[in-house]
Amino acid sequence: MRTVLMILLISFAVFALYFNIGVFIPASDKSTHTIKDEELRKMALDRGLFPVPKTWAKAKEVVDNPENPLTPEKIELGKELYFDPILSKDSTISCASCHILEDGGDDNRPTAIGIYGQPNPFHLNSPTVLNAALAKRQFWDGRSPNVEDQAKGPIQAPFEMGMTPDEAVLRVKGSEKYLSLFSKVFPKEGVTFDTITKAIGAYERTLLTRGAFDRFLEGDESAISKKAKRGLYLFMRIGCKGCHTGMSVGGQSMQNFPLRRYNSILSPQSRFVNDKRYFAGFKWQKIEAEEPFPFPDTGGFHGRNGQFLFRVPILRNITRTAPYFHNGSVEKIEDAVRIMARHQLGLLLDDQQVDEIVAFLKTLEGDLVEYKIR
């Protein structure tokens, strides 16, 4: 009887540790683990982490849309529209207002700001437009299948650009320049709401970035640091790559968030200061709260159909797109990494592991590729 009771107590303790404190990474998987560069590269490629193409011919094979074939003229027209506030009701907002190409492809605000200074009513921030054409879904709730369809949303949203399709068409038709360009690019359809967004989408399909990680994947072993390589290994080994995959390192699926909920949750405000409690080398801080997210539920947005289902964010240039998560409640990338490890993977990362993963994420920063499209 005593033996049975002991087994039950041990089983309960293990269960409690796993679900309430987290699990630790085995010693063989800690950041001290070493792996040859060629093995690490092969691991990344085998897991779908591919480099962005250097040439337009190769990039076009990846981003072209059979329903909206890319041409140099269409791309140029889309670029004109992307930067033109003509598509907003008060003529002050363009696509580039919330998706700043020189600054990570977003606007670095907790929530997007539209015409007349209106904030998004759900306190949603702007996902990056860079590499967005590589994603399978668009918007935080994944409601659009591609960048062409996505372009229709902000133009019509009353708190963003505030136009109806008919108003947008009338605005564009009022420009001699655009009438001439549309007659060449879309000789049959002319100016329609669909051709407007097809042109914008065509331009956005060219907005791919390359950086140090791409060079490493292509064989340049000096492109990223040893610390970043350890971070890449951890990223793959602990399970981040399960959702953050593909050439875009994300944007390929919809996932529940948070996947794991705790009575005691991590607080981004705490900055994870140690409270002298340790478990297997992992440090954490406890606060008493009942929140739907491991950060303030500002805006009350709970994903697709309110079911906590979100599009997995693209991680390319992620270190340039703070603040983080759908409502911009987390300011530091280190905090975002800890939250994701804790609430998606059930892991409590120590400072060294977080720093190594962040070092890897920084290698995903990149510059727009200046493709020779003509």
- Is the CB of residue 126 less than 8 Å from the CB of residue 139? no
Q: Write the single-letter amino acid at 45.
A: L
The two tokens of residue 118 are 């209106």
Question: How far from each other are the two terminal CA atoms of the chain, in whole angstroms?
Answer: 81
Residue of 28, 30, 160, 146 lying closest to 88 (CA atoms): 160
Look at residue 212 and give its three-state secondary structure: helix
* Interacting residues of 147 by C-beta distance below 8 A, sequence separation 6+: 129, 132, 133, 138, 200, 201, 204, 205
* Interacting residues of 73 by C-beta distance below 8 A, sequence separation 6+: 181, 184, 185
- Is the CB of residue 31 less than 8 Å from the CB of residue 356? yes
Look at residue 276 and give its three-state secondary structure: coil
Q: Is 218 a catalytic residue?
A: no
Beta bridge partners of residue 288, listed in sequence order: 264
* Interacting residues of 93 by C-beta distance below 8 A, sequence separation 6+: 85, 114, 115, 160, 161
Residue of 218, 250, 204 lying closest to 361 (CA atoms): 250
With tokens 């093995």, the residue in question is 39
Task: Choose the catalytic residue: 67, 76, 102, 160.
Answer: 160
Residue of 69, 104, 99 lying closest to 82 (CA atoms): 99
C-alpha span between 300 and 123 (Å, rounded): 8
Query: Rounded to 5 degrees, what are φ and ψ at 326?
Result: -60, -30
Q: How far is CA 314 from CA 65, 133, 137, 285, in A?
A: 20, 11, 11, 28
Query: Rounded to 5 degrees, what are φ and ψ at 353?
Result: -65, -40
The two tokens of residue 142 are 């994944």
Show which residues are catalytic.
Answer: 160
